[in-house]
Amino acid sequence: MGAHSARHLRRVLRLYLARSGPAEVSDAAELALTELVANVVRHVPGRRCRVCFLLQPDAVRVEVADDCPELPVPTAAGTLGEGGRGLVIVAAVTDRWGVTPYADGRGKTVWFECVGKAEARRTT
């Protein structure tokens, strides 16, 4: 997986959201997806992952699963640091996010959800 993979995945997500999901969350979802893919490229041996888009009329859930047992931890990097802000960005632009370790300890799924305006109105 490389930088071109993130670009391709963003394009696929944008198309799905434009056709079937809340298109207004596209920018946030694409940014969060880019950060999760960047984490795979930087931290997962072999750079392999599986990506799943779960679309609903008013929300999207994106899952990025890999076979690396190390769990990601959000850090507050210094202003001059080159990394460490990815999960902070994900938390800032999504409605919910989390990490689900595999039961056998051999990997995890990092996920986020972006909720469109219609569902947000129903839950507030």
Q: What is the CATH number of the domain that holds 26?
A: 3.30.565.10
Which amino acid, 67?
D
Tell how strand 108-115 and strand 96-101 pair up.
antiparallel
Least confident of 2-11, 43-52, 89-98: 2-11
Contact 58/73 with Cβ under 8 angstroms?
Answer: no
Q: Is the pLDDT of residue 96 over 50?
A: yes
Q: Whole domain around residue 66: which residue ranges?
A: 3-123
24-76: pLDDT as tens digits: 999 999 999 999 999 999 999 999 999 999 998 899 999 999 999 999 887 76
Q: Is the pLDDT of residue 82 over 80?
A: no
Contact 29/13 with Cβ under 8 angstroms?
Answer: yes
Contact 63/107 with Cβ under 8 angstroms?
Answer: no
Domain count, the chain: 1
Triad 101, 23, 110: Cα angle to 5°: 10
